[in-house]
Structure 1
Amino acid sequence: MNYPWQQVNPKDFFTLRQVVPLSDQDVRILTTIYQPLIGNAAFTLYMNLKESIRNGSGWTEARPLSELMTLLDIGIPELYQARIRLEGLGLLSVYKSKKDSDQFLFEIKPPLSAERFFNDHLMRLILFEKVGERMFNEIKQQFSNEKPEAEKYEEITKSFLDVYYFDIQKHNQLSVVEFDDQELPSSKHSPVQMMSEQSDFDWTFFVEGLNHHFINKKSLTKEIRELIISIYEIYGVNELDMQKYVLESTDIETSNIDQEKLPQIVQRDFHKKQARKVQIQDKVTGSIQEEQSAKSGRKTQLKQKGFNNQEIEIILHAQEVKPIEYLKSIKNQKGGFVSSNETWVIKELVEQSSLSTSVINILINYVLIGKNAPVLEKSLALKVANDWAQNDINSPEDALQKVKQLYAESRSDRQSKQRSGSTRSNSQKYIRKETLPDWASEENVGEEIDAKKQEEFRQRLERIRNRSKGGDS
């Protein structure tokens, strides 16, 4: 199964950029309002990125993602989840280099002001569902300031011309100064605006079903439409039920929809009928839980097949890593390096053989670790791959079982040779040598002929010795 974070590599580099500095109020809003929505890991990631920019330039040098993983003590799935939570709420923008695939740019964005947050229907609703009514009201109250009534005051502010003197004659003598318009950072749509563009809500059916004599069409403003989309996406209210809720929240005298009353009616009805809370989760959370569940089930399955813990870890690791990364990992452990020839061998195995990448990884393990070969030789690798393909080795556990079988046969062959060698001469010293099955043998036909010549030479030498003994007698 493919997971979205599989394209993330700890060796990738990222550069930080901060266009707008964060104020103390921004940090307070992040801590109080945003943290319940994004979770502790995403909040810690954001604050870590913020603190990394200290030089006042708004930039940092590129550094590897592995540093973030070490500082936050999290893995790739959790880092990816924290990152996209920040992206989804407009706190982080991520850019990938067009030239270097392992280079990224992270741009930190300030949060919405408290006023804008609580005026955003989507943000307000998801916070309400996340923390509950009591805590929602407490948080909102922390950022609510009673505004003075403007009608009780009379403005006496001085105008520009009241304060500054503008000499028109002197101005005419000055040369015209041209100012270049600086490109400001483009402001992206808010989450609710993006949701409105992507939603499949059937507006035609919804509007046609409304009582047009009772509801003023002009009351379906942009704000009301965004509110309806937010309710539709969060509570799953269909178009037919939405008509009922809208009618119920419409003022009889003005025929206008009350945007404060509408979400209250929906929330009250939803919680009364369902007796449960809306679960606000990002898509990666489900994927992580699914992966953990699948991994746990996979371990149980492998244990039932008789594999021990070490073998299970080998199998699971073989499933998660690409062959070239697997090869690099083993070479690094052995203090070596991957040659261009080995890269081509991996490419040929992946493209030409019918073996899965996890089986190819076990093959690499067998050759470099099991056979203690310094390099992944093409001839041996292709012989093993052909044999495994012809014997329907389709999974890493099948491949590992095949390797164990080969080792058992190899030990049996050594023991047989050791017994036969001891009967020939006790003076001969047995030399331990790792024997390979026929398909993995590096011996060629010419070497077999040389062995026959050596046997003939030994027999001739034996006959000469026998004749020599007969002459002496």
Structure 2
Amino acid sequence: MAQHWQETLPVDQYIVASGGLLHEYDRKVLTFLYQPLIGPACLSLYMTLWAELEENRLWSEPVTHHNLMSIMDMNLKDIFHARQKLEGMGLLKTFVKNSDEGRSFIYELQPPLTPEQFFLDGMLNVYLYRKVGKNQFSRLKRFFSDKSVQAEPGFSEITKAFQDVFLSVSPEALRQNQETATDMQAEEGKAFIGRPDASKIQIDPGEFNFELLLGGLQESLIPKKAFSTKVKEAISNLAFLYGIDALKMKNIVLSAVNAENEIDIDELRKAARDWYQFEYQDQLPALLDRVQPARHKANIEKPKTQEEELILYFEKTSPRQLLIDLSGGAEPSKADLQMIEEVMFKQKLLPGVVNVLVQYVMLKTDMKLTKGYIEKIASHWSRKKISTVKDAMQLAKNEHRQYLEWAEGKKTPATQGKRKPVRKEVLPEWFEKKRDGDTDKQENQPQVDPDFEIEKKKLEEELKKFKSGR
């Protein structure tokens, strides 16, 4: 992934355009519905770009990114990552042009979804519910809804139709010649000021294995024509949202088939949600970064040491994939996945940091994830505001003795009077790296018992496989 300084420089100019008229009500939608998902920095960038547009116009004046940095009091790296989140959420389109005079951008603001579209979206509403909780979600629904006209008792509609009010004219008067038709269109290179429908979040259907899904379904159960474009888009969104593979999706699709042998999308959403809540004890998925965010990476392009290779692996791998790699390709258990999700969600740890935590804990606890132990270390790292893989490794080295005491704290009083046996430890490979000139710390490094050399070599081989496959 390219770094922000390769994509944008302070001297690069940009122009703000609007993909449609933005209404004052959109500010409330962005503030209360989108902000919990994208954060205040993204909202601030959107509002700042919006403010640069003249009222009821579609284009702003050209200005440099340095000006944007000054107005927002943010560095270009944070602005760049906020821009990417707006793009991913469908709120911004970015265009770039390279010329002899330099690089220039067009930032086209996209209107947000209407409240009705948002609450019926099927993805964003689920993420918002998980983010803000049931009570706040219900409050937001009340805020963005009102009593319908049809709910008023005793009223009946008497609205007149067009033909009831206006007289018709002769066909010749309505007929347009070619010149008249041209006059009705916008001039070349221009577009009428308006507001197109807001773009919904859509996961590329190519990301889902429909061949495997269709291969497991007989034509007599569901005809292939039932998999329309809308149905495929819904399936790909639900597969991403709930982490459902093609084999599990088969039963969910079967439960959503109606009497006409068509797939009811609403029933499909309900079935997918029920499946996820059954699997994860009534929880809903959270919107989290799948891998370490670019702004918290070590910017290692060509690793020179084995430790740098491991840092790069942790940064490019999701915690779920790490568990799969550590188990030799086997799917992780539901309990382990839920534990990792809780650590990421409650302790606000980034994916790369969680990877270091998982490897450290598993190698110290005989390849088991002990909930109390991992949560205690995670809360410590959260308080220390650890956000990079390198910092997580360093803190694990510095606090190793403290973590040993936490691990040994479960011993019963009856065993405390006995002489403690020599502890046989298996530590991560990066943990045992000695730093030049740090002789005192080298002497205090815990020694690995010779009896564990075989197991250590196995773990080293596993790590080599991980890195060779990346």
Report the CA distance shift for 1:230/1:50 in structure 2 as closer, same or farther (over 3 A): same
Q: What is the letter of the counterpart of residue 9 of structure 2? A: N
Q: Find the aligned partners of 1:63 and 1:299 in 2 and give their Cα distance.
A: 42
Residue number among 219, 223, 227 corresponding to 1:220 in the alignment: 227
Q: Find the aligned partners of 1:170 and 1:216 in 2 and give their Cα distance.
A: 50
Partner of 2:296: 289
Q: Find the aligned partners of 1:298 and 1:7 in 2 and give their Cα distance.
A: 30
**What is the DSSP-based 3-state SS (H/G/I as helix, E as strand, rest coil) of the residue aligned with 1:79?**
helix
Residue number among 272, 276, 283 corresponding to 1:270 in the alignment: 276
Shift of 1:10: 1.8
Partner of 1:433: none
Q: Find the aligned partners of 1:299 and 1:59 in 2 and give their Cα distance.
A: 49
Tell whether the 8 Å contact from 1:15 to 1:105 is kept in structure 2 after alignment. yes
Q: Find the aligned partners of 1:246 and 1:161 in 2 and give their Cα distance.
A: 48
| Stretch deviating more after TM superposition (17-26 or 273-282) | 273-282
Tell whether the 8 Å contact from 2:38 to 2:86 is kept in structure 1 after alignment. yes
- In proportion to residue count, which structure has more helix? 1
Residue number among 157, 182, 195 corresponding to 2:160 in the alignment: 157
Q: Deviations over 1:392-438 (max 9, x none)?
A: xxxxxxxxxxxxxxxxxxxxxxxxxxxxxxxxxxxxxxxxxxxxxxx
Partner of 2:46: 46
Q: What is the letter of the counterpart of residue 10 of structure 1? A: P
Tell whether the 8 Å contact from 2:22 to 2:111 is kept in structure 1 after alignment. yes
**What is the DSSP-based 3-state SS (H/G/I as helix, E as strand, rest coil) of the residue aligned with 1:94?**
strand
**What is the DSSP-based 3-state SS (H/G/I as helix, E as strand, rest coil) of the residue aligned with 1:102?**
strand
Q: What is the letter of the counterpart of residue 276 of structure 2? A: F
User: Does 2:239 align with 1:238?
Assistant: no
Partner of 1:124: 125
Shift of 1:217: 5.1
Partner of 1:259: 265
RMSD (CA atoms): 4.1
**What is the DSSP-based 3-state SS (H/G/I as helix, E as strand, rest coil) of the residue aligned with 2:39?**
helix
Report the CA distance shift for 1:282/1:49 in structure 2 as closer, same or farther (over 3 A): farther
Q: What is the letter of the counterpart of residue 290 of structure 1? A: K
Name structure 1 gaps, 5 residues minimum.
308-473
Q: How does 1:187-202 map to 2 (within 5 A)?
A: 190-193=199-202, 195-197=203-205, 199-202=206-209
Q: Find the aligned partners of 1:137 and 1:164 in 2 and give their Cα distance.
A: 49
Q: How does 1:376-415 map to 2 (within 5 A)?
A: none
Q: Find the aligned partners of 1:50 and 1:305 in 2 and give their Cα distance.
A: 53
Shift of 1:81: 1.2
Q: What is the letter of the counterpart of residue 280 of structure 1? A: L
Partner of 1:112: 113
**What is the DSSP-based 3-state SS (H/G/I as helix, E as strand, rest coil) of the residue aligned with 2:9?**
coil
Q: Find the aligned partners of 2:36 and 2:284 in 1 and give their Cα distance.
A: 15
Percent identity between the two aligned chains: 25
Partner of 1:95: 95
Name structure 2 gaps, 5 residues minimum.
299-386, 398-433, 439-470
| Stretch deviating more after TM superposition (81-90 or 52-61) | 52-61
**What is the DSSP-based 3-state SS (H/G/I as helix, E as strand, rest coil) of the residue aligned with 2:36?**
helix
Q: Find the aligned partners of 2:178 and 2:391 in 1 and give their Cα distance.
A: 77
Tell whether the 8 Å contact from 1:122 to 1:227 is kept in structure 2 after alignment. no
Normalised TM-score (structure 2): 0.53
Shift of 1:41: 0.3
Normalised TM-score (structure 1): 0.53
| Stretch deviating more after TM superposition (254-263 or 235-244) | 254-263
Q: Find the aligned partners of 2:286 and 2:3 in 1 and give their Cα distance.
A: 22
**What is the DSSP-based 3-state SS (H/G/I as helix, E as strand, rest coil) of the residue aligned with 1:179?**
helix
Tell whether the 8 Å contact from 1:192 to 1:226 is kept in structure 2 after alignment. no
Tell whether the 8 Å contact from 2:19 to 2:196 is kept in structure 1 after alignment. no
Tell whether the 8 Å contact from 1:85 to 1:282 is kept in structure 2 after alignment. no
Report the CA distance shift for 1:189/1:229 in structure 2 as closer, same or farther (over 3 A): farther
Q: What is the letter of the counterpart of residue 269 of structure 2? A: P
Tell whether the 8 Å contact from 1:16 to 1:53 is kept in structure 2 after alignment. yes
Shift of 1:241: 0.5
Q: Find the aligned partners of 2:292 and 2:254 in 1 and give their Cα distance.
A: 37
Q: Find the aligned partners of 2:115 and 2:174 in 1 and give their Cα distance.
A: 44
**What is the DSSP-based 3-state SS (H/G/I as helix, E as strand, rest coil) of the residue aligned with 2:33?**
helix
Q: How does 1:296-311 map to 2 (within 5 A)?
A: 296=391
Q: What is the letter of the counterpart of residue 116 of structure 1? A: Q
Report the CA distance shift for 1:297/1:139 in structure 2 as closer, same or farther (over 3 A): closer
Q: Find the aligned partners of 1:146 and 1:118 in 2 and give their Cα distance.
A: 17
Partner of 1:65: 65
Higher relative contact order (CA 8 A, sep 6+): 2
Partner of 2:140: 139
Larger Rg: 1
